[in-house]
Structure 1
Amino acid sequence: MTAAEETSTGRALVEAGAPVAGSMSAAAATVVFEPAAARVQVHDGFAAVLRRAAADAAGMPEGREQVRTGAALAFAVEHAVTVHRAGRAVRGDGYLDDRPGNRPAADELTEAVLLAARTSTDERRVRHLGYLLAEVAVSPDIDAGLVGRALRLAGALSWRQLALLAAVGRRDRVPLPMIPLDDDPRGWTAWGAREDVAELQRTGLLDPPPAQPRPGGAALPRLRIADLRLTRRGVLVHRLLVLEVLREDAVTAALADLGLPRS
């Protein structure tokens, strides 16, 4: 395939993400494949990573997997523009560079993220997987092993659990409800949401961990959402998926599933 053909097919892949990423897909494709015509810019090296990834994935059959792949790349451009405007420099530790006998770490990570996006039937997650690509590119304190860990942790979480992590992560600017949670709610939706919270505690993403039975069968203190804090693991997932900007309506819905009002 010639360079022109790679550009054409790669650009078409990014634009194919429109059903998930909207009209922004076309603008993102211009940023990556025709930067001189774009109104905004991203780092040349990061754009090159996205071009290679798009060209490599361009041969996939049409369908929702193709849509999600293109959308993830478009969202990566969106967040890259945001961090560029904020003055956050692309890391200079060799992350984007070829390695002896191997391709750049950025290319390997991009392939892993696009695989996760491609197989994500809940397409709301695709935005934040794309954001992860741009966030890692400006985070020299995060190595490839940590990114892999974050992807594994996030891959096991439901959308509601991501929304709950987002709620706890923004607690300093949006107060959380002080109402105690029912430990065994009768409704199935509330029961499932309560299980989501408990699982986040058990897997070490939220503190405090689940309360343990007391000697003599004494009553356990009832947990409040306001009592929860992100653990180090939770901070990693929250930061790399950029859950700080997860939609407010998703957070509100997650709290409502628990039977709690938004403060």
Structure 2
Amino acid sequence: MIAGVDHVEVAPGRALVESGELVAGSMARSAAGLLFDGAAARVRLDDRLAAWLRRTATAADADLPAPVPRRGRCRAGAALAFAAELSVTRAAQGRSVRSDGFLARGPGDRAPADELAEAVVLAAADTTEEWRVRHLGYLLAEAAVSPDLDAAVVRRGLRLAGELTGRQLVLLAAVGRRERLPLPMAPVPQDPRGWTAWGALEDLTDLQRRGLLDPPPARPRPGGAALPRLRPADLRPTRSGVLVHRLLALDFVRDDAVTAALADLA
């Protein structure tokens, strides 16, 4: 210890959330203070929700499997910081934390919410597309105030999201905000020559094939009749698409990212 300098020990879980500053910016330290020193914070979280995120952070700090690189640890902390951030917003919107047992610990001292949070922390640590981390954290906040979504449905949404490319998530965001940002009326190319347009069309067709967007991909017609031309304006989210969009709070995807993804289809 350096003479005259006091060493302050940081609680393990708090240290994990604060490490998220590398990914989430200074907001991570504010979120850590909110979770681990709520009495000094200007805003408050529901005690049950704060306790859940706090024990998740503490467990993750001790249990992240090796080898998790330093950057992966920071992503895990950032996901929990983002969860706290959106939880404050949801509380301000008047959305109450669910009281149906989702946060209640049962056998093995585990709650359904604990299993979900562990899966989110591992997904955040593992991804290299760090913009996803924000939305993984948002999934925890949304699940905590959504009593109409049981744990199995939330895990299904998380699994579906994990199978999608980043551009597919942005395309889902585009369709979900069609009332605010109208989708293009021009048909998408049927056989694009450029690799970017080809990849974007593959992503879009895969979303249709997986049942996340309607209409489904057009099938060849008898006699070789021409297939109908798909326009982005024709797209609608299916029930599964709505689930992923809602849980990941894709409304928060930046407009410029949406514009770029739609341009890839041109």
TM-score if structure 2 supplies the norm length? 0.93
Moved over 3 A (4+): 59-62
Gaps of 5+ in 1: none
Q: Report how many residues are paired.
A: 255
Determine which of 24, 29, 33 is the counterpart of 1:30.
33
1:161 to partner: Cα distance: 0.5
1:100 to partner: Cα distance: 3.8
Could you say which residue in structure 2 is the equivalent of 1:111? 118
Q: After superposition, what is the alpha-carbon deviation per residue over 1:86-134, rounded to whole angstroms, capped at 9, x for unaligned?
A: 0100001011111144511111110011111111111110000000001
Could you say which residue in structure 2 is the equivalent of 1:47? 50
Paired residue type of 1:196:
D
Could you say which residue in structure 2 is the equivalent of 1:231? 238
**What is the CA–CA distance in structure 1 between the aligned matches of 2:98 and 2:189, rounded to whole Å?**
46
Q: After superposition, what is the alpha-carbon deviation per residue over 1:134-158, rounded to whole angstroms, capped at 9, x for unaligned?
A: 1000000101111111111100111
Determine which of 159, 163, 170 is the counterpart of 1:156.
163
Could you say which residue in structure 2 is the equivalent of 1:144? 151
> What secondary structure sits across from 2:228 in the alignment?
coil
1:58 aligns with 2:65: no
Q: After superposition, what is the alpha-carbon deviation per residue over 1:194-222, rounded to whole angstroms, capped at 9, x for unaligned?
A: 10000000000000000011111010111
**What is the CA–CA distance in structure 2 between the aligned matches of 1:50 and 1:257, rounded to whole Å?**
38
Paired residue type of 2:249:
V
Could you say which residue in structure 1 is the equivalent of 2:21? 18
**What is the CA–CA distance in structure 2 between the aligned matches of 1:100 and 1:129, rounded to whole Å?**
26
Could you say which residue in structure 2 is the equivalent of 1:216? 223
TM-score if structure 1 supplies the norm length? 0.94
**What is the CA–CA distance in structure 2 between the aligned matches of 1:167 and 1:147, rounded to whole Å?**
22
> What secondary structure sits across from 1:118 in the alignment?
helix
Q: Percent identity?
A: 65
Determine which of 252, 255, 263 is the counterpart of 2:262.
255
**What is the CA–CA distance in structure 1 between the aligned matches of 2:183 and 2:150, rounded to whole Å?**
32
**What is the CA–CA distance in structure 2 between the aligned matches of 1:30 and 1:228, rounded to whole Å?**
43
**What is the CA–CA distance in structure 1 between the aligned matches of 2:229 and 2:54, rounded to whole Å?**
51
| Change beyond 3 A, Cα 1:64–1:212 | same
Could you say which residue in structure 2 is the equivalent of 1:182? 189
**What is the CA–CA distance in structure 1 between the aligned matches of 2:44 and 2:206, rounded to whole Å?**
41
**What is the CA–CA distance in structure 2 between the aligned matches of 1:62 and 1:52, rounded to whole Å?**
22
Could you say which residue in structure 1 is the equivalent of 2:5? none
**What is the CA–CA distance in structure 2 between the aligned matches of 1:243 and 1:103, rounded to whole Å?**
29
**What is the CA–CA distance in structure 1 between the aligned matches of 2:129 and 2:59, rounded to whole Å?**
24
Gaps of 5+ in 2: 1-7
Root mean square deviation of aligned Cα: 1.4
